């Protein structure tokens, strides 16, 4: 089991886990071109892959963001294959991302999560705390 930064040549293996993510979250399948565009966008930021026997079983899209007041790390997406959940693998991915942030002298990390998702428990276990609520109005 190894957590590592993605490389351009990882796309073919990544496409399978991304399709599993889309299916798992009830999102309609996307074209290879769409997934490739997203992969290449985050390659310029940070993609952490969790690999076991040359198969990607989890990943994270992360970035360093900056607003008018501060610079912080942001977790855009984290996913572990359904058959590998409950073994602490998401923690391995998260720790690799936090290492990346520390190497860039970033001292804060944020993420958004739906209030009805069981992932909240995991994020709280990792030390994340609610510091504001985002509300949305669909028009």
Residue 102 Cα to chain centre, angstroms:
17
Overall pTM > 0.85: yes
Q: Encoding tokens for residue 85?
A: 């959940």
Residue 96 Cα to chain centre, angstroms:
11
Q: pLDDT per position in the chain (139 positions), as tens? A: 899 999 999 999 999 999 999 998 889 889 999 999 999 999 999 999 999 999 999 999 999 999 999 999 999 999 999 999 999 999 999 999 999 999 999 999 999 988 777 788 899 999 999 888 888 899 9
Q: Return d(Cα 130, Cα 110) in angstroms, integer.
A: 10
Phi, psi of 80 (to 5 degrees): -125, 135
pLDDT of 131 reads 87
Nearest Cα neighbor of 1 from 56, 52, 47 is: 52
The position carrying tokens 């609520």 is 133
Q: CA-CA distances (angstroms) from residue 34 to 28, 38, 73, 99, 102? A: 12, 6, 24, 29, 31
pLDDT of 114 reads 82
The domains located in the chain, with CATH, are 2-125 (3.40.630.30)
pLDDT of 29 reads 85
Beta bridge partner(s), residue 109: 73
């Amino acid at each position: 089991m190894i957590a590592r930064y993605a490389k351009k040549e990882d796309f073919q293996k990544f496409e399978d886990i991304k399709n599993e993510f889309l299916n798992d979250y009830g999102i309609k399948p996307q074209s290879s071109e769409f997934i490739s565009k997203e992969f290449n966008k985050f390659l310029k930021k940070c993609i952490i892959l969790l690999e076991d026997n040359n198969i990607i079983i989890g990943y994270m899209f992360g970035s360093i963001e900056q607003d008018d007041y501060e610079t912080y790390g942001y977790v855009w997406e984290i996913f572990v294959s359904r058959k590998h959940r409950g073994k602490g693998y998401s923690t391995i991915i998260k720790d690799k991302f936090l290492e990346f942030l520390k190497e860039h002298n970033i001292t804060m990390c944020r993420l958004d999560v739906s209030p009805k998702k069981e992932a909240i428990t995991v994020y709280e276990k990792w030390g994340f705390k609610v510091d504001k609520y985002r509300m949305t109005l669909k028009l």
